[in-house]
Amino acid sequence: MLDVKDAEARAASLIETARKAGADAADVLYVGNGSTEVQVRLGDLEDVQRSEGEEIGLRFFLGKRSASVSSSDLSAEALSALVERAAAMAREAPEDDYAGLAPEERLLRAGGPNVEGDDGYDPPPTALRERALATEAAARSVDGVTNSEGAGASAGRSVVALATSHGFCRGYTTSGYSSSASVIAGNGARMQRDYAHHNVRHLEDLDDAEVLGRLAGERAVARLDPARVPSGSMPVVFDPRVGGSLVGHLLSAITGPAITRKTSFLLGREEERVFAEGIVIRDDPHRERGLRSKPFDGEGMATSPSNLVEDGRLTGWLLDSASARQLGREPTGHSTRGIGGSPGAGATNVDLLPGTVSKAALIADVKRGIYVTELIGQGVNPVTGDYSRGASGFLIEDGEIAAPVAEITIAGNLVDMFQALMPADDLEHRRGVNVPTVRIEGMIVAGA
């Protein structure tokens, strides 16, 4: 895996080779990854994996025609062949009026923000093993836990470099650490499983092994002996670890490609109030140590914090250069990128900002409802917004969280769900998409 300076130099060199081969424009993305992962189960080491890989991708433009190619072989001979293949493919490709590089004036030229994405640490496998063993031991120590699916700890680093033929050449690194445990409570037909996990950029931010392990064990034990739920319309409260998926559906619906293809349930709702008054959803690519922080987007454009929803109103779309051209707009700095193919669009660190009431107050007046801690399946129609997913969690009775429930279905329509959404005040930054506990009135619950 190359360091940032070498990755930038390799990307810039490939741009030059492409220009010499006749490209009118080109961009190159380099991504290198290295990681160590340790898995343990029942107190014994189960697996240790060390992986390293790197790949480079080239987009080659001839007028309105383009081709994308990639290689994991970075030798001079392989990259020369890569350029030849890209040129041949571009000559045969259909014309695309909207494809092309990002506007030159929008590229990040200054130093860019320091998002503290890399702590420079590389823990040895022995340290990861000890953390995994301690996490599992804490989970298994919880009374009622009877078995373990294992625990793990990992550490990794990524290098990203992007170069374009109109003068952009920048790179950055990120570090990443994770820890998790999954255990089983009960016996026979009574068995229930749950887990806990945590992902961070800096090792010092990772949850203590004892705390994370006990959380996994307590969650599993709390799910024992689920009650039956009568079907009907009732409030549904989403725990923060699953509530972010609701915002995820919003993000998918406001990307430029979804709008240009007319496959979004929010089509035509720009600047309309799609949430209740006061609701703010913020995208912050500059958050220090954020899981998705980055100084520039997938096309080299400067990133900046923005409100995607302001006082309940949808402020606009997430646009890469191609979808912006198709819509007659300006790109928003939300381009996302893989090694192969054209850029898409997406958000970074997203927060549904907290409300003014506590979690206890949010559910205090719920006579009967559901507190959801796990969602199952993918039953969401992105065109209509129809929502139907399997779920498990707990009953809410007379304003208190009560017996566990399992194998239920919750349903509604995202348009109505967004309008009815109410946030508590318990927002924490633990994920790429963060939400406080949220309550949605009038969802249909189908019991087991």
Domain ranges within the chain, ordered by starting residue: 4-220, 226-448
d(CA 242, CA 433): 10
Residue 265's contacts (CB-CB under 8 Å, 6 or more residues apart) are 253, 381, 382, 383, 384, 385, 414, 415
Give the number of other CB atoms < 10 A from CB of residue 233: 12
Encode pLDDT of 27-84 as tens digits.
Answer: 999 999 999 999 999 999 999 999 999 999 999 999 999 999 999 999 999 999 999 9
Left if phi > 0, otherwise alpha if psi is -120 to 50, otherwise beta: which for 20? alpha
Q: What is the reported pLDDT for 110?
A: 81
Residue 261's contacts (CB-CB under 8 Å, 6 or more residues apart) are none
Given a contact cutoff of 8 angstroms between Cβ atoms, the answer to whether 86 and 18 are in contact is yes
Encode pLDDT of 118-174 as tens digits.
Answer: 999 999 999 999 999 999 999 999 999 999 999 999 999 999 999 999 999 999 999
- CA-closest candidate to residue 373, choices 401, 415, 399, 348: 401
d(CA 430, CA 205): 10
- CA-closest candidate to residue 11, choices 244, 245, 168: 168
3-state secondary structure of 247: helix
Helix 4-20 and helix 76-92: axis angle, to 10°? Answer: 50
Q: Which two tokens stand for residue 42?
A: 């029942």
Q: Which two tokens stand for residue 422?
A: 């109410």
Inform me whether the pLDDT recorded for 448 exceeds 70. Answer: no
Encode pLDDT of 403-433 as tens digits.
Answer: 999 999 999 999 999 999 999 999 999 999 9
Q: What is the reported pLDDT for 249?
A: 97
Averaged pLDDT, 308-322: 97
d(CA 434, CA 135): 24
Inform me whether the pLDDT recorded for 85 exceeds 80. Answer: yes
d(CA 52, CA 303): 29
Encode pLDDT of 425-442 as tens digits.
Answer: 999 999 999 999 999 999
Given a contact cutoff of 8 angstroms between Cβ atoms, the answer to whether 249 and 380 are in contact is yes
d(CA 369, CA 233): 9
Residue with tokens 């039953």: 379
Averaged pLDDT, 2-27: 96
3-state secondary structure of 287: coil
Residue 135, CB-side half-sphere exposure with 13 Å CA sphere: 34
Encode pLDDT of 180-235 as tens digits.
Answer: 999 999 998 899 999 999 999 999 999 999 999 999 999 999 999 999 898 999 99
Inform me whether the pLDDT recorded for 447 exceeds 90. Answer: no
Averaged pLDDT, 349-370: 97
Which CATH fold topology does 4-220 show?
PmbA/TldD fold (3.30.2290)
pLDDT band at 359 (very low <50, low <70, confident <90, very high): very high
DSSP 226: P
Return mean pLDDT, the chain: 96
Q: What is the reported pLDDT for 377?
A: 86
